[in-house]
Amino acid sequence: MLTGKEQGKKYTEQIFFELQAMPVESRRIIRLTFEYPGVKPTTIPCCLLKGDSASPRLWLEALIHGDEYDGALACLDFINNLDLHDLHGTVLVFPVINPTAFFAYQHGSPYDGNINLNRVFFENDNTGYSWEYGRFLLELAENLADFFIDYHGGSKLNDISRYCMVPNVGNEVDSYINDLARKCGLQYIFCDHNDQNGNTGRLIVALAKKGIPGILLENGGGIAWDKDCVERHVESVRYLMVETGFLKCGEHAPESGFYFEPEDYVYCEHDGLLLYHIPLGSSINKGDVCLKYMDVETGEIFEVTCPKDGCFVYCIHTAAVVRKGNFAMAYAKYPEGVMTP
Ligand SMILES: [Zn+2]
């Protein structure tokens, strides 16, 4: 059996060939199959949308985390509705890039214990399904993507605000993407150092280190996709496509909101039933109740409160079932100079 990288190389060549052979302004779907010992082959669709030429190539993907659904619908919107007459270059769309996780209703694949697929993309010799599948995807992406967009959302348990993460790797990609991040109408821009503990290995970071610019877009959440979040995801990418020249025409975005540094993540301490959560984006101060749930064994009510003044919530638990250790919320401080509502 070929390695993940070798399998990626094979499809890279096939896709180059397909793109050359396709007439201008045409679309077609191909299927990529990744094989790994002991499990069913993993097959994903890739829709090739060719505008006026085979390059430059935009890579658009969703569901690298298997329970973040809104981006997949946004991908389908591009597949079905993008006017190829307006497209410069080509878009490669992957609506469901991590299908084994998707069918397990979870972040990561069930084949190797829910490993976060968006943390495997760094130099390593780890073995296992997700690590090898990551090498397959990285081989494809680094050869095929001139620009990379990764749709994310809050997960089946959480809702998340509309913001982006940008790479921060110390080369020319950083300033290029930061400039674009301000021009796609987002609520916030997340300042990530990308190399802090536990946060290495994102695909945008791996590609940025190789000089390929990319952006990670967050929005949505819940066990089903949401029409408004899907529309916002579509809108953000259209703005990015105008700014990067992939779309020959289209509106420019209102300027994105402020940069923030993540302050803290809060976790639930009991198993329970969610009774209340504050709305996403709420301004909160020390002691404000953000979440309430009932312990299902004792009937006791527990509250999750904000530990600091001058903050806002950018991700919140919304699912009825609360498990000890579940993420409760993520909050950040309003930056200096930003008017708090
Ligand atoms: Zn995600």
The pTM for the full model equals 0.96
For residue 69, the CA-to-ligand 1 centroid distance in Å is 10
For residue 217, the CA-to-ligand 1 centroid distance in Å is 9
The per-residue pLDDT for 172 is: 95
d(CA 133, CA 128): 9
d(CA 339, CA 167): 27
For residue 20, the CA-to-ligand 1 centroid distance in Å is 33
d(CA 212, CA 240): 15
In the chain, the domains with their CATH numbers are 4-244 (3.40.630.10), 264-333 (2.40.50.100)
The per-residue pLDDT for 338 is: 81
d(CA 70, CA 150): 12
For residue 299, the CA-to-ligand 1 centroid distance in Å is 33
d(CA 155, CA 63): 10
Show the tokens assigned to 128. Answer: 């296992």
Show the tokens assigned to 23. Answer: 């007439």
User: Can you give the pLDDT of all 341 residues of the chain as single tens digits?
Assistant: 999 999 999 999 999 999 999 999 999 999 999 999 999 999 999 999 999 999 999 999 999 999 999 999 999 999 999 999 999 999 999 999 999 999 999 999 999 999 999 999 999 999 999 999 999 999 999 999 999 999 999 999 999 999 999 998 999 999 999 999 999 999 999 987 766 555 679 999 999 999 999 999 999 999 999 999 999 999 999 999 999 999 999 999 999 999 998 888 999 999 999 999 999 999 999 999 999 999 999 999 999 999 999 999 999 999 999 999 999 999 999 998 887 76
Looking at the DSSP assignment, which residues form a beta bridge with residue 33?
43
The per-residue pLDDT for 197 is: 55
The per-residue pLDDT for 192 is: 77
For residue 121, the CA-to-ligand 1 centroid distance in Å is 14
Nearest to 180 by CA among 229, 122, 246: 246
Show the tokens assigned to 72. Answer: 């997949």
- Evaluate whether 283 touches 237 at the Cβ level (below 8 Å): no
